[in-house]
Amino acid sequence: MKKEELKDHLVNHHNNFTNLIGSLSDILANNAMPGKWTPLQQLSHIEKSVAPVKFAFALPKFLLSAMFGKTNGQSISYEELKTNYKAKLDAGGKSTTRFLPDTTCDRHKLLAVLNNHVQVLCQRMERFSEAELDTYRLPHPLLGKITLREMLYFTIHHVQHHQAQISLVRHVAPQMQTA
């Protein structure tokens, strides 16, 4: 994906996610499948996940290079990243402490903060050429050092992954209430 498509996907998928969270009743927003986070906790987790990406895209390029190195200018595809991430999860990969959700959340505040993070991230992407997105790297807790483009792929996929979990709660919750 090129920058414009990345921006469109970032905005659209995060908007879909925040619209879903915003539409949930308080009961559903605080309801979770066994062993999963509530939708509000997932919102907190996504906000905590996007914030450092937004921050990293503001760092000077020389600092990105010094801290995380550079690649040969090759990024894997979006599909490959999804496959690699799923394999890490299937192998038992979990969120690190830094990204664990808060136990209580102000839904409206977090929705606004997340939307702001995504808008600022899209603006900061402009600092980088297409080639630089494939050259500079960032650390990912499960995937290791990945290119900026791959981190954007992850950010898009990650919100979809959590939206799917919320959609499952939304689908199953009415059945749980009648059981």
Give all domains of the chain, ordered by start, each with its CATH number. Answer: 3-173 (1.20.120.450)
What spatial distance separates the first Cα and last Cα of the chain, rounded to whole Å? 45
Q: DSSP E strands: which ranges in 12-130?
A: none
Contact indicator for 136, 147 with CB cutoff of 8 Å: yes
The predicted-structure confidence for 128-155, as pLDDT tens digits, reads as follows: 999 999 999 999 999 999 999 999 999 9
Residue for token digits 């808060």?
A: 102
Mean pLDDT across the stretch 41-63?
97
The set of residues, in sequence order, having a beta carbon less than 8 Å from that of 147 and lying 6+ positions away, is: 71, 74, 75, 133, 134, 135, 136, 137, 138
Share of the chain above pLDDT 70, in %: 94
Whether the pLDDT of residue 67 is over 90: the answer is: yes
The predicted-structure confidence for 98-137, as pLDDT tens digits, reads as follows: 999 988 889 999 999 999 999 999 999 999 999 999 999 9
The predicted-structure confidence for 153-178, as pLDDT tens digits, reads as follows: 999 999 999 999 888 766 655 544 43
pLDDT at 171: 61
